[in-house]
Amino acid sequence: MWTIGVADTTFARIDLGGIAASTVEENEEHARVVRYTVPGVKDLPVAAKRLFGQGCDIVIALGMPGKMPIDKQCSHEASTGLIAVQLAEGKHVIEVFVHEDEGADEGELVEIAGERARKHALNALALLRGRTELTAAAGTGRRQGKPDAGPISVVY
Amino acid sequence: MWTIGVADTTFARIDLGGIAASTVEENEEHARVVRYTVPGVKDLPVAAKRLFGQGCDIVIALGMPGKMPIDKQCSHEASTGLIAVQLAEGKHVIEVFVHEDEGADEGELVEIAGERARKHALNALALLRGRTELTAAAGTGRRQGKPDAGPISVVY
Amino acid sequence: MWTIGVADTTFARIDLGGIAASTVEENEEHARVVRYTVPGVKDLPVAAKRLFGQGCDIVIALGMPGKMPIDKQCSHEASTGLIAVQLAEGKHVIEVFVHEDEGADEGELVEIAGERARKHALNALALLRGRTELTAAAGTGRRQGKPDAGPISVVY
Amino acid sequence: MWTIGVADTTFARIDLGGIAASTVEENEEHARVVRYTVPGVKDLPVAAKRLFGQGCDIVIALGMPGKMPIDKQCSHEASTGLIAVQLAEGKHVIEVFVHEDEGADEGELVEIAGERARKHALNALALLRGRTELTAAAGTGRRQGKPDAGPISVVY
Amino acid sequence: MWTIGVADTTFARIDLGGIAASTVEENEEHARVVRYTVPGVKDLPVAAKRLFGQGCDIVIALGMPGKMPIDKQCSHEASTGLIAVQLAEGKHVIEVFVHEDEGADEGELVEIAGERARKHALNALALLRGRTELTAAAGTGRRQGKPDAGPISVVY
């Protein structure tokens, strides 16, 4: 039985946490989801830390940084903090950030967000299964929220 | 009974700490506010650290970075430090930064600042009540100091 | 009796450390100053660390970053390190950086530098006296090296 | 017998991990390779941490950051994390990042990537052999994935 | 007897480590130099860490970041790591970075590099002698690799 933390924000305009939680539940019966909701992405690192303190094996941290330069700075600070948590705990935090300027319009943003949250929830499950679970896909240009880039045919 | 640290600066041009402190006191009778005032935002991380050392359950850190590039750098350093404190303590620091270039004029800046300090003081209280206290509002596009962006209607 | 570390650099073109040291000595008879001089601002974090190791209660770290982009990067690294020291020690380091491009000419730079070093030395003394020593001035737009911005009249 | 961690990503479009692993195996019979595959470069720091936890003497961390500004930010966060892991463990992580905008076309990118992964795998083996193994080549302008820049003839 | 670590890179195009090592040996008979050569500047922080593990009292870390934006990012990551090592060890690392775009041509670059490596090797020796060894030169505008800027005459 795995315990999977799902940390999300009230700042996001799409229910990323709900999508991740339901993806986990639909794809792994031996998983328990623990939710944690914070105001914004900069609050996610300590939420992840606290989720590990409650026994989580992995955390999925989801947020939607805005489109202004200051928002990029915030997402950078959040990402740096999420990496620090992982190193302190020795456990993965899968970051699922959807930047508001990624989509041409709201419809596209919703598509990107949904697909990214779902695929990264599956990545979290894969990482729990073992360090080589994704090795067959190493170097194959996988994307989350955009079409896969695919592998470059090695021509040499 | 909760102990809530309020760390603010003499650099700020608005009494953000006072607004946060009175918001806490008006909304939660079982809360004690501990104040700490420092010169500028880069002094806030260690102030937060010391407030936790005095038994605070959460800290609200408030400041007003200036509008020059060097000020953005300072706020970045301060934010990074505030995240480091949170990870070391396993407790939330709610950052309330109002950038001097956010408002078209001083009147607008005052409105943004007041609203942001009040809403984030309420966020601090919510986080103290539990990790899912804000989950009903997850992904709903809440803002502090600006009108809520609101949720994007999921169209798929 | 307080022990106050003063860390400065040979890179700076103004004797910032001397100004800070004499300001401390003129304003607080119960203070002992411990000097530490390093080549440049990136050497200040470990100097502060070592000054705390020698019993300092607070450290004033002074430097003059140059005007080129690489200098801004150096000052950013130094500031980040100074915040890390503070969090490791639970004690304040008052950073007094004077950027070479802050003054229109050398005369103005000297004025800014002298005033900033003096005012921040006084800030260091205030912080030693207690966490609310500066609270009366919270949100009042104090500056060091430039005229105070003053508080914005709250109009709501 | 050395244990060499090879951490790579599914985001990369070239099998960098495979190239590094086979280079190690072809050049050092007393080496055992342990693979770890994660979604993207920001997941590499904790993968390296976990590989050290499994007894690795060194880790080779390989990834292909994209060409957008946000990708540069991600690679910066990943690199910062990889340095943090090294300092926590006291062991080397050889970072092999190939930026998508390094090659004029996919063919050139494949050449750069292959050569960089191979040369850095050899660098990892050299570092395992001792701290002065590369000293004969110090200051000689070695490159990985591009032609060596070579030493500048000292003319003074 | 002091033990002085000299960490350098194969990426550099000038034998910075050799210059630093011989400067140390020519100027301090009670010093033993321990060399460590790594591929690039991002490998220097852990090299410094390991040199301290072997008993070094101070480390001189030398490298030549390239001229592209990604190179500036690498040098920033390296510098941040070098500061982290210093704080963990409580000992100085003197960073000697020569940026490839500092010189108008290779001849000037060689001059800058040689002078910087020599002067910073002397700075390392000064720091070992004590925290006020450089205080007489505080605020005097010393440079390494460029002419000294000199002190600004204090006119107030």
Share of chain B above pLDDT 90, in %: 92
Residue A85's H or E segment, with its range, is helix A69-89
Q: In terms of Cα–Cα distance, which of D135, D150, C44 is closest to E7?
A: D135
Q: Where are the beta strands (DSSP E) in A39-123?
A: 58-63, 93-97
Q: Do A37 and B72 touch (CB under 8 A)?
A: no
Non-local (6+) Cβ contacts of A48 within 8 A are: A5, A7, A59, A61, A82, A85, A93
- The neighbouring-strand residues paired with B3 are B32
| ipTM for this model | 0.97
Percentage of residues in chain B with pLDDT exceeding 70?
Answer: 98
Q: Check residue D153 and give its pLDDT.
A: 73
Domains in chain D and their CATH numbers? 2-137 (3.40.50.960)
Per-residue confidence (pLDDT) for residue D154, from 0 to 100? 58
Confidence of residue A153 (pLDDT cuts 50, 70, 90): confident
Buried/exposed B104-143: b ≥16 CB within 10 Å, e otherwise: eeeeebbbbbbbbbbbbbbbbbbbbeebeebbebbbbbbb
CA-wise closest residue to D17 among A134, A123, A121, A149: A134
Kindly determine whether residue A84 and residue B83, on different chains, have CB atoms separated by under 8 Å. Answer: yes
CA gyration radius, chain C: 15
CB proximity D92 to A under 8 Å: no
CA–CA gap between residue D77 and residue C59 (Å, rounded):
30
CB D81 within 8 A of CB A118: no
Q: Count Cβ atoms within 10 A of the Cβ of residue D133 and give its class: 0-12 exposed, 13-18 middle, 19 or more buried.
A: middle
Q: Are B99 and B67 in contact (CB under 8 A)?
A: yes
Give the C-alpha separation, C3 to B47, whole Å.
19
DSSP D37: E
What's this model's pTM, rounded to 2 decimal places?
0.97
Q: Looking at chain B, which runs of residues are DSSP E strands? A: 2-9, 31-38, 58-63, 93-97
Distance CA D120, CA D101 (A): 20
Asked if B138 and A9 come within 8 Å (Cβ–Cβ), the reply is: yes
Identify from E33, E34, E42 which residue to disrupt to test chain D contact, counting D C-beta atoms within 10 A and taking the largest count: E42
pLDDT of B115 > 60? The answer is yes
- List pLDDT tens digits, range D123-150: 999 999 999 999 999 999 999 999 999 9
E15 chain-D contacts, CB cut-off 8 A: 138-139, 151, 154
Give the number of B-C residue pairs with CB atoms closer than 8 Å. Answer: 124
State mean pLDDT over C80-96.
98
pLDDT digits (tens, 9 = 90+) for D2-41: 999 999 999 999 999 999 999 999 999 999 999 999 999 9
- With an 8 Å Cβ cutoff, is C48 touching chain B? no
CB contact under 8 A, E138 and C37: yes
